[in-house]
Amino acid sequence: MIRLKNTVFIIISMLFLGSGVVAQEQHQHGDGNQERRQQNAGGEHQHGQSGRHTPKQRAQIDHMHHQLDDDQKPYKEKEAKALKELNEMTIREDVRLDEVYAKIDELMAAKNQIMRLRYEHLIEMRKILTDEQKVRYDERVLKRSEVN
């Protein structure tokens, strides 16, 4: 039983760490968008000027971000529900490891869909950029994978 509890604790710890990475990525994504919207406000949309977005690009980007949020919403709800159920499951005296594994599979399936949508979004976003803008965008994408 102690081994089971240790295994479950390790699994839950890994999931929380993974959730933290996703939350950090979402936080950075949100803050960056707000900052870019503020930078682009007030007619500073000249094409090619410091790689800023044109009004047409800004509208496309806003639409894509809204669509991403809508598309991810059901999976984020499934993720939160599965994590809650997994946590509740682990404190039961009669918990079975196969139930825990099944719930982890459910949780990871939701995370998988969220990540697929996220990277589809990144690729779609890049397609509307000019070559100059792609340089800055690519730098930001690659910077996310840096270990701090």
Residue 117 has pLDDT above 70, yes or no: yes
Tell me, what's the pLDDT at 15?
Answer: 59
CA 35 to chain centre: 18
> Rounded to an integer, what distance in angstroms lies between the CA atom of residue 71 and that of residue 26?
14
Confidence of residue 18 (pLDDT cuts 50, 70, 90): low
Burial class (CB in 10 A: 0-12, 13-18, 19+), 72: buried
Confidence of residue 19 (pLDDT cuts 50, 70, 90): low
Q: Which of 128, 35, 113 is nearest to 78 (CA)?
A: 113
pLDDT in tens, 48-93: 344 589 999 999 999 999 999 999 999 999 999 999 999 999 999 9
